[in-house]
Amino acid sequence: MLLVCINSVFVWKHWFNMLLSLLLLLVVSVTQASHYRGTLMTYYPQETYANGSVSVILRFKFNFQTCLDDSFSCTGKCGNESLVLPNTKCEEVIGVWCQSEKITSRLLPNNSPFQLVYASNSWFTNLNGVVYWRAVTSVELRHRSDTNRPNSSPQTTMFPALRVPSNCQRNINLLAFDPDGDEVKCRFANISLTECVSPCTPPPVLSLSSTCTLSFSTTSSSIEGWYVVEMVMEDFPRQAITLTQTDGSKVGKTTSDAISKIPIQFGFYVDPAAPSCSEGVYLPKFLLPTPEHGAHFYSPVNQALKIDIRASTTQSVITELLYSGPYNVVKNSSEPGSYSLTWTPSASEDGQSHPICFIVQARSVFRTKCTEKKILKYTK
Ligand SMILES: *[C@@H]1O[C@H](CO)[C@@H](O)[C@H](O)[C@H]1NC(C)=O
Ligand SMILES: *[C@@H]1O[C@H](CO)[C@@H](O)[C@H](O)[C@H]1NC(C)=O
Ligand SMILES: *[C@@H]1O[C@H](CO)[C@@H](O)[C@H](O)[C@H]1NC(C)=O
Ligand SMILES: *[C@@H]1O[C@H](CO)[C@@H](O)[C@H](O)[C@H]1NC(C)=O
């Protein structure tokens, strides 16, 4: 199943009037900045063997300025890890960010919980002053009394960078789906739980609800620039359950106990103010047959699933569609504002749910006389 997520972040590239200076600024901030642009991971249990061994499929997204490979580390009884998919590019904005996916499988001697950690320095330069990164996943594979199988993590995806104009209020609904039917909750990373490294300050321009909505609500132009978002997503049972370990020991989980935990880290960019926050004017507006946010699509293995996306604007030009989803999605465009994403699930993805998010970007073509002069001067 493919879950669609429209991040409703209609990004508007501020290219009129400030075309040259903005481009220069972006280049400067990229070359000065460090390469890390966030990560996320999810997991699905695979097999439970008669000898007590269990296997799990781990999916990692790595975001860097260029397409780079990396690994989460595991301490304790983590079993043996084998590569299912080498690091593979999903989507790239050349010179700015690249999101790639890597899939591994771990064969564990038993179903005891374990943690995976991804930590290093440094984040790109950001206004909330975060330097070191640390991302933690808690993998729970003990047998659940309600589903009769091991737990799956919440499923989600996210771009390496979200952008909003500084004057436009935005509520961004993150995609949050749980294959076990659990309640999914979000919160910013907590330093007391070693989910991040000091300073671990969330962006002051964003609030995050437990239902996974990020709200951007300030209109001050002094806050333009890059921020870093470090958050976690957890699944909570809808009624009390029991988890049973391979050796027979049991532990209870109430509706206020998280079962598993995944990290979600990305950049958030506050752009200069847009002339209008209305969709369809400068910021793109999605048109039919674009699916709704949260739509579910089912597709059998090896059968292509095509999603058509259309968007329009009256005062700007749509430049591109960007997506964050499985590595084997193919993007195609017939004309500006008209796109398709095609996903052909492989046999190893059978029975699983995969999220895909997309955004459409536009740039302004409006020019003041002053800008025309500036451009002429520059090109001479
Ligand atoms: C992991 O690999 C080692 C060495 O190949 C092997 O002895 C061990 O049984 C494996 N663990 C599992 C859980 O299969
Ligand atoms: C348990 O059985 C599986 C499947 O036969 C095997 O791959 C795995 O190595 C076994 N685990 C141990 C710890 O022997
Ligand atoms: C962080 O975790 C600690 C320990 O569980 C808890 O006491 C504290 O309230 C949490 N902080 C926030 C901001 O949630
Ligand atoms: C991509 O679009 C072009 C132009 O519409 C079309 O010719 C081509 O077959 C499409 N490719 C895929 C993979 O859909």
Q: Does residue 17 sit within a domain?
A: no
Are residue 52 and residue 121 in the same domain, yes or no?
Answer: yes
Are residue 74 and residue 217 in the same domain, yes or no?
Answer: yes
Give the range of the structural domain holding residue 341, as residue numbers without chain letter: 1-9+278-380
Q: Does residue 240 sit within a domain?
A: yes
Cα 142 to ligand 1 centre (Å): 20
Are residue 195 and residue 254 in the same domain, yes or no?
Answer: yes
What is the Cβ-side half-sphere exposure of residue 376, based on CA atoms within 13 angstroms? 7
Give the pLDDT confidence of 318-345 residue by residue, as tens digits. 888 888 988 889 999 988 889 999 988 8
Residue 207's pLDDT band (boundaries 50, 70, 90)?
very high
DSSP string, 170-209: EEEE---B-TT-PEEEEEE--GGGTSS-SS-PPPTTEEE-
> What are the beta bridge partners of residue 336?
none
Handedness of CA 346, 105, 186, 7 (dihedral sign): negative
- The region of weakest confidence among 234-238, 258-262, 357-361 is 357-361
Tally of domains within the chain: 2
Label residue 32 left, alpha or beta by phi (over 0 means left) and psi (-120 to 50 means alpha): alpha
Atom of ligand 1 nearest to the CA of 107: 13
Residue 2's pLDDT band (boundaries 50, 70, 90)?
low
Cα 370 to ligand 2 centre (Å): 72
Are residue 84 and residue 183 in the same domain, yes or no?
Answer: yes
Shortest-distance ligand to the CA of residue 107: 1
Give the pLDDT confidence of 65-111 residue by residue, as tens digits. 989 999 999 977 899 999 999 999 998 888 889 999 999 999 999 99
Residue 1's pLDDT band (boundaries 50, 70, 90)?
low
Final residue of a structural domain among 229, 255, 274:
274
Given a cut of 80, is residue 27 above it in pLDDT? no
**Model confidence, pTM:** 0.86
As a residue count, the chain comes to 380
Final residue of a structural domain among 274, 295, 330:
274
To test the pocket of ligand 2, the residue of 46, 48, 53 to mutate (highest count of ligand atoms within 8 Å of its CB) is: 53
User: Whole-angstrom Cα distance, residue 84 to residue 329?
Assistant: 17
Are residue 208 and residue 334 in the same domain, yes or no?
Answer: no
Q: Check if 330 has its Cβ closer than 6 Å to any atom of ligand 4.
A: yes
Give the pLDDT confidence of 33-57 residue by residue, as tens digits. 368 999 999 999 999 999 999 999 9
